[in-house]
Structure 1
Amino acid sequence: MSLLGRKFPAPVARPMAPFYISGLVILYGVNSFANALASTDEYKNDPRNPNLKTQGSNGH
């Protein structure tokens, strides 16, 4: 007897493939948009910007 119960031969990955693909496309688009916004003049010098390179080191 299986711990998960009876196995049913229902396809899962093939019917859900369009949703997986569209999710990846949306994530790629959001990432590209966030990177574009982080490199604008308004946020280029913001200390919360992860792309900001600090000139001096504070020992950490």
Structure 2
Amino acid sequence: MKGDRVMKTKKSLMYLECINENLNTLILNQEMTYFIMREILKKMDRSVNKRHVKVRRKKI
């Protein structure tokens, strides 16, 4: 009985460690995506400021 409880505890701990690793990976990916998007937006802002593109809209 006690051995079963120890095994369940070890299994639960292993699951929690896996969840923790997955969450850490997710956070890192989110941070990388944020920085990439920020750089893209900076470049887009620069190109818009250089060109002063006018956009016309037409009703269809």
What is the TM-score with the length of structure 2 in the denominator?
Answer: 0.55
Q: Higher helix share goes to which structure?
A: 2
Q: Output one character per residue of 1:19-56: Cα deviation in whole Å (capped at 9) or x when no partner.
A: 1111000000011000000011xx2138xxxxx662x3
State the identity %: 7
Rg larger for: 2
Q: TM-score w.r.t. structure 1 length?
A: 0.55
In structure 2, the CA distance between the partners of 1:31 and 1:53, relative to structure 1 (3 Å rule), is farther
- RMSD over aligned CA atoms reads 2.7
Structure 1 residues not aligned, in runs of 5+: 1-7, 47-51
Number of residues of Structure 1 aligned to a counterpart in Structure 2: 45
The separation in 2 between residues aligned to 1:14 and 1:24, in whole angstroms, is 15
Dislocated runs of 4+, deviation >2 Å: none
Structure 2 unaligned runs (5+)?
A: 1-10
